[in-house]
Amino acid sequence: MRAAQFFISTLKEAPAEAELPSHKLMLRAGLIKRLASGLYSWMPMGLRVLRKVEAVVREEMNRAGSVELLMPSVQPAELWQESGRWEFYGKELLRMKDRHDRDFCYGPTHEEVVTDIVRKEINSYKQLPKNFFQVQTKFRDEVRPRFGVMRAREFVMKDAYSFHTDFDSLVETYNGMYQAYCNVFNRLGLKFRAVAADTGSIGGTGSHEFQVLADSGEDLIAYCPDSDYAANIELAEALAPAAPRAAATAAMQTVVTPNVKTIAQLVDFLKVDIRQTVKAVVVESDTDEPVLMMVRGDHELNEVKAEKIAGIKKPLTMATPAAIRDAFGAQPGSLGPVGFKGRVIADRTVAAMADMVVGANRDDEHLTGVNFGRDCAEAEVADIRNVVAGDPSPCGKGTLALCRGIEVGHVFQLRTKYAEPLSCNYLDRDGKLKPMEMGCYGIGVSRIVGAAIEQGHDERGIVFTDAMAPFTVVIVPMGYGRSELVRAAADKLHDELAALGIDVLLDDRDERPGVLLADSELLGIPHRVVIGERGLADGKVEYQGRRDASATAIDVAQIAAHLRASIAC
Amino acid sequence: MRAAQFFISTLKEAPAEAELPSHKLMLRAGLIKRLASGLYSWMPMGLRVLRKVEAVVREEMNRAGSVELLMPSVQPAELWQESGRWEFYGKELLRMKDRHDRDFCYGPTHEEVVTDIVRKEINSYKQLPKNFFQVQTKFRDEVRPRFGVMRAREFVMKDAYSFHTDFDSLVETYNGMYQAYCNVFNRLGLKFRAVAADTGSIGGTGSHEFQVLADSGEDLIAYCPDSDYAANIELAEALAPAAPRAAATAAMQTVVTPNVKTIAQLVDFLKVDIRQTVKAVVVESDTDEPVLMMVRGDHELNEVKAEKIAGIKKPLTMATPAAIRDAFGAQPGSLGPVGFKGRVIADRTVAAMADMVVGANRDDEHLTGVNFGRDCAEAEVADIRNVVAGDPSPCGKGTLALCRGIEVGHVFQLRTKYAEPLSCNYLDRDGKLKPMEMGCYGIGVSRIVGAAIEQGHDERGIVFTDAMAPFTVVIVPMGYGRSELVRAAADKLHDELAALGIDVLLDDRDERPGVLLADSELLGIPHRVVIGERGLADGKVEYQGRRDASATAIDVAQIAAHLRASIAC
């Protein structure tokens, strides 16, 4: 492709609206153009990237045995009423009325439509399992669209749905799709983690999120660098310390701690190691009795874990100051287990502590040298804290690290969540009508582009992998318009690479060399060949990979072979 | 592809909703599935066809120098208000409000959005011309959606838009796109005509429609079988007869014609040749004077042509009975030029008639032997009739034939219709700001599938061309599940063809041979190989093209080469 026949439109500065690096760079590089809040046009340069992602996703879906179809984007309300989501989905669902005043929505997802197709098309166990996918434009009317294509309202998604006679079959397909997703992100050259996840509003059981690692990610992930263990912080298990509880060495003593309300103040005031202190949180229970939860001073209570404990009120609710005073005789800031007659739950780490510093259950007083069994009863023990970096990994193979991620894929075991309300049944071998087991599998195709740039960029612009770059090679001629020699060499190399099936851009625009070089870096094109008269005089051109610190002179005769060898396939 | 890993779902009978052959066959063959009125899912088999059309369109657009982008389907009302179409477009525009109560629509077309992009991106004559296209899902809220994908509400369209400094540049791109459209329809193997067309509601000047020829088409087309001349019936020119007017041979006579109101009754009553009679139509003018228009008895007035004549009221309006009696002294049924003092316009054919039979301007009386110049003044002469089959073609190369067509493409010269209201201007060489000239070019990608089936089907099902078929070759094994021999031969041929890059379907479903054979014909797969034990014993398989009356035995060793040679590339 020649730039003059294409459309390159770069900007020196990103519009003020953009916050994230990827959003700024996509606007500056002219990959996208804003139409309205959360609505972007994919400009020619950006569309090439989007299509490359789409092609990889499609290939891996085909390989995984999913069959492609295309459902309408506009969906009748009746199906959503059948599933119960017409009410449930809220304002994210873009609703509309047609000319006959009938209700429709712009599909944000297609469980209802695909289930409607399957209940009409499939009625016997002999036709199962089946797995369908589509690549489609979807719409979610986000409260606050932002980050460009990463949280746009209109976006491109690959969504797949599988149908099964039983759970074992669902798990088999789920595992196949999980592997296909790993293949997609590996092929695109992305650093990612598949993390165990809650199923959230879509319901069902069993789910993994695929997170592209990036500092700006909205999700916090715990992972083991020495294995493939990864989980959202909400789900990552904090193991009990390996060492047993040490013996008590100090007597329990009361210390007056005026105006000390926080762990930080306590540590500062008493000059103790924060790891000797205990944080007390009082929550409501299913009965009216408040429950004391204890985590080490430097740890955080994990509300998702705490809420799952039997007898604890859901959603997790903090006890009121009045209830706390009634039960403990003190205000928050001076609470502890000593003398408290109610239920006490200690985090696994706390359960292994000796000589603890805790609240005295008297305002402005704390106790030091507190030990379970001696000064207060042994507590119930549970994992109720967030993991921290350095915790032993639940996989047993090292210690956990934390990072941020951008969710680009999600696989769910929906079970019969949709099949039951929509009566998507099949006749089993035994002649009985049963609801189908169902899985669903989504990839944010357009979001991947943003996430990849979030992961791959530097101060000069985007750094695309070979698999995602709009062009794999850019030829930058120094003086295409004024040097016959340069023009002939550039044209020849362009045609040679194109004939090899390499996506090559010849930047024949009538711009200063500095502009062409800067644009090639801003656009993130992985391989660059600069052709100038001086080099040609010695039979050389300059090759530079996008991540290389400097250029290398290569023989003109060798450059095509050099590029071929450099490009990842 | 193996059928067991794909999804085939055929029906014996089409649902009652379907009227046209293509709609019935698409439902029966399982290419599409209805979701709601005018909303269809493209099932796996149908999507393969749609994607093949899309790929050909994309290739030809790229070849024509159009650059692909992708604009949002949801568009803000503000842009449509700027162009004036928010009011004008009516109920076909699906409107919606987002969560912040702002107005949007689901784009039925993208002139506004692309013009907004171009006015922001392009400001100099140096950047022009530019030509952009996209392949996208669009929505038109049709009053009465019908004919399946041919008049669906949600559909896939390729729309392109070009921008220019001047009209010459527009015409050059227009001609290039016209040629690209011919390439698309030729490559798809469709019989089509490019016909001169009115620009209709989209406005502008200069337009051609691309019509796929089919008996069920909604549009009537006149074309010359001996050239590429074609025009919508509204625009096709009726030439003057080659022979000059004959001399008068009869005297004018009054005949009493009681209750004769129509040409058919007149011919029947007087036993004259219909080609001697003249039909009189009285229309309103810009002044209050009625105008008499005359076409030969067997011809039809063309209202589009009649309305274009200077002084005639637009839209064309028939004179009231009272006005006619005032001006002619008689009722419709007995009107004619003799004695009428007002404006008379004769069709070119009428102007060359002698010894005419016309109304006498007295109720229940006609005149025979009427001649211009002798019995009444010479009339104004104009082309005001529809052409009929056998008329000389305006191209001068033969006679016209009539046929019906389905519009699948349309190219327009929009000129500055959108550039002016949206201020899409450029700075010209002379330093002046000027509005851009603009063209737009649409292809109904999903409609093409219906139109192709309308053109290609027989009593057994669809007849796809090689270019559009979901699979080019189907292998039908007789007893895949019970004969090792058949299975091995079928598997081998499947793998061999797949390795050659041929789209092959191995129908390994556990169904009776009759079902497999019938499905292969219903699906319209162009090339079929039947493999059975009896044939294999002689080293033969049976080949049959979808249009062939019978099968041919081919050596197993030769079948792949035979298919390769049979498939159009």
Indicate the pLDDT class of residue A33, thresholds 50, 70 and 90.
very high
Q: Can you give the pLDDT at residue A568?
A: 75
Average pLDDT over residues A206-230: 91
**Chain A hits for B91, Cβ within 8 Å:** 99
Q: What mean pLDDT do residues A217-239 have?
A: 90
Domain co-membership, A446 together with A521:
no
Residue B139 to residue A74, Cβ atoms within 8 A = yes
Nearest to A39 among B68, B72, B91 (CB): B72
Mutate to test the interface with A, among B32, B71, B144 (most CBs of A within 10 A): B71
Q: For residue A270, what are the domain limits? A: 253-385
pLDDT at residue A228 in the model: 83
pLDDT higher for B298 or A203?
Answer: B298
Mutation to test the A interface, candidates B8, B82, B104, most A Cβ within 10 Å:
B104
* Mean per-residue pLDDT, A292-297: 98
Q: Residue B435 phi/psi, 5° resolution? A: -75, 145
Q: If pLDDT is split at 50, 70 and 90, which confidence band does A14 have?
A: confident
Over chain A, what is the mean pLDDT?
95
A272 located within any domain: yes
| Res B443: pLDDT | 98
> Residue B178 in contact with residue B441, Cβ under 8 Å?
no
Smallest CA–CA distance, residue B478 to chain A, in Å, is: 21
* Domain match, A559 and A517 both: yes
Give contacts of A141 with chain B, Cβ < 8 Å: 98-99
* Contact by Cβ (8 Å): B546, B521: yes
**Quick check: B68 and A44 CB within 8 A?**
yes
Q: Are residues A363 and A448 in the same domain?
A: no
Q: Identify the pLDDT of residue B197.
A: 79
pLDDT over 90 (residue B15) = no
Q: Per-residue confidence at B199, pLDDT binned at 50, 70, 90? A: low
Q: Across the beta sheet with B278-283, what order do the strands follow?
A: B278-283, B291-296, B343-347, B380-382
- Cβ-based contacts of A40 with chain B (< 8 Å): 72
Looking at the domain assignment, is residue A405 inside a domain?
no
* Per-residue model confidence as pLDDT tens digits over A185-198: 999 999 999 998 76
Cα(A452)–Cα(A148) distance, integer angstroms: 13
Residue A196: predicted pLDDT: 83
Chain A residue numbers touching B69 (CB-CB < 8 A): 7, 41-44, 47
For residue B538 the two structure tokens come to 């002689």
Same-domain pairing of A264 and A116: no
How do A130-139 and A103-106 pair as beta strands?
unpaired
B143: CB partners within 8 A, 6+ apart: A99, B91
- pLDDT class of B16 with cuts at 50, 70, 90: confident
pLDDT digits (tens, 9 = 90+) for A97-108: 999 999 999 999
B441 within a domain of the structure (yes/no): yes
Q: What is the pLDDT of residue B205?
A: 57
Mean pLDDT score, B464-474 = 98
CA distance A102 to A77: 8
A104 CB neighbours in chain B (<8 A) are: 36
d(CA A545, CA A527): 5
Element (H, E) at B409: strand B401-415
For residue A150, give the nearest of A374, A425, A405, A491 by alpha carbon.
A405
Domain count, chain A: 3
Q: Give the nearest partner residue to A154 out of B40, B65, B74, using CB atoms.
A: B74
Contact check, Cβ <8 Å, A47/B36? no
**A483 and A423 housed in the same domain:** no
Task: Check which CATH number belongs to the domain holding A81 and give it.
Answer: 3.30.930.10
Q: For residue A569, what pLDDT band results from cuts at 50, 70 and 90?
A: low
Closest partner residue to B130 (CB to CB) among A7, A94, A113 is A7
User: Residues A166, A297: one domain?
Assistant: no
Question: Which has the minimum average pLDDT: A8-17, A318-327, A528-537, B355-364?
Answer: A8-17
The verdict on a CB contact (< 8 Å) between B71 and A5 is: no
Q: What is the DSSP string of A48-76?
A: HHHHHHHHHHHHHHHHTT-EE-B--SEEE
pLDDT for A103 equals: 97
Q: What is the pTM of this model?
A: 0.89
B355 and B427 co-located in one domain: no
CA distance A217 to chain B (A): 25
pLDDT tens profile A42-96: 999 999 999 999 999 999 999 999 999 999 999 999 999 999 999 989 899 999 9
Task: Pick the residue from chain A with its C-alpha nearest to B3.
Answer: A67
Residue A332 near residue A314 (C-beta atoms within 8 A): no
**Residue at A464 is within a domain:** no
- If asked whether residues B162 and B27 sit together in one domain, one would say yes
Question: B506-539: per-residue pLDDT in tens?
Answer: 999 999 999 999 999 999 999 999 999 999 999 9
Is residue B465 one of the residues assigned to a domain?
no
The beta-carbon neighbor of B70 closest among A47, A113, A139 is A47
Q: What's the whole-number average pLDDT of chain B?
A: 95
Residue B244 forms part of a structural domain: no
Interatomic CA distance for residues A71 and B386, integer angstroms: 43
Per-residue model confidence as pLDDT tens digits over A390-399: 999 999 999 9
Model confidence at B489, in pLDDT bands (50, 70, 90)?
very high
Which residues does chain B have within 8 Å of residue A73's beta carbon, measured at their own beta carbons? 73, 137, 154
In a domain, B55, yes or no: yes
Name the residue in chain A with its Cα closest to that of B8. A121
Could you count the other beta carbons within 10 Å of the beta carbon of residue A89?
Answer: 17
CATH number reported for the structural domain that contains residue A335 in this entry? 3.90.960.10
Name every chain B residue with its beta carbon within 8 A of the beta carbon of A144: none
- Give yes or no: residues A46 and A146 share one domain: yes
Three-state SS at B58: helix
Within a domain: B229: no
Q: Over pLDDT 90: what percentage of chain B?
A: 91
Residue B322 pLDDT greater than 90, yes or no:
yes
Q: Where residue B17 falls among pLDDT bands split at 50, 70, 90? A: confident
CA distance B182 to B57: 11
Q: What is the mean pLDDT of residues A293-319?
A: 94
CATH number of the domain residue A559 falls in? 3.40.50.800
Per-residue pLDDT at B228: 83
The neighbouring-strand residues paired with A15 are: none
Say how far apart CA A10 and CA A25 lie, in whole Å: 10
Residue range B266-270: average pLDDT? 96
Band of residue A205 on the pLDDT scale cut at 50, 70, 90 = low
Which of B512, B537, B517 is CA-nearest to residue B529?
B517
Residue A197's pLDDT is 79
pLDDT at B204 over 70: no
- Are B76 and A35 within 8 A, CB to CB? yes
What residue in A sits closest to B117 (Cα-Cα)?
A33
Q: Is pLDDT above 90 for B546?
A: yes
A411 Cβ contact list (under 8 Å, min separation 6)? A174, A177, A178, A181, A207, A208, A210, A439, A440, A441, A442
Picking from B47, B91, B137, the nearest residue to A137 by CB comes out as B137
With the C-alpha atoms ordered A300, A301, A303, A309, is the resulting torsion angle positive or negative?
Answer: positive
Please report the pLDDT score of residue B415 as a whole number.
Answer: 92
Q: Which pLDDT band, with edges at 50, 70 and 90, does A212 fall under?
A: very high
pLDDT, average across residues B1-5: 95
* Cβ atoms within 10 Å of B5's Cβ, excluding its own: 12
Whole-complex ipTM: 0.88
Indicate if the alpha-carbon torsion angle A419, A421, A423, A425 is positive or negative: positive
Q: Which residues of A touch B161 (CB under 8 A)?
A: none
- A334–chain B nearest CA distance, Å: 46
* pLDDT at site B318: 96
User: Do A281 and A425 lie in a common domain?
Assistant: no
Helix (H) or strand (E) segment spanning residue B195: strand B192-196
Neighbouring residues of A320: CB distance < 8 A, sequence distance ≥ 6 = none
Which 8-state DSSP code applies to residue A428? -
Residues B25, B171 within the same domain: yes
Tell me the C-alpha distance between B223 and B389, whole Å: 9
Contact A74 B43 (CB under 8 A): no
pLDDT over 70 at B569, yes or no = no
* Gap from A42 CA to chain B (nearest CA, Å): 5
Same domain, A331 and A368: yes
Within 8 A of A98 by CB-CB distance, chain B residues are 94, 141, 153
